[in-house]
Amino acid sequence: VRGEPIRVRLESRVLCGRLLDLDHQGNLVLDYAGECRRITAGEVFPAA
């Protein structure tokens, strides 16, 4: 759900932020520390 806090596990680290959207290429758009990050691959979990 947009705006929900999530965790994204990448190959080398975990990012915690808010789900903003999916872009036209299917990338996850994450609000991470006030920055808009596009995530192309990773595991997505609800924030604990």
- Predicted TM-score (pTM) above 0.75: yes
Q: Which two tokens stand for residue 38?
A: 């596009």
Q: Which two tokens stand for residue 6?
A: 């999530």
Distance CA 4, CA 23 (A): 17
Domain span including residue 12 = 5-46
pLDDT, tens only, 2-40: 999 999 999 999 999 999 999 999 999 999 999 999 999
Q: Would you say residue 1 has pLDDT above 90?
A: no
Q: Which residues, other chains included, contact 22 with Cβ-Cβ below 8 Å and sequence gap of 6+?
A: 28, 29
CATH number at residue 26: 2.30.30.100
The pLDDT assigned to 48 comes to 76
Looking at the structure of the chain, the number of domains it has is 1
Which amino acid, 15? L
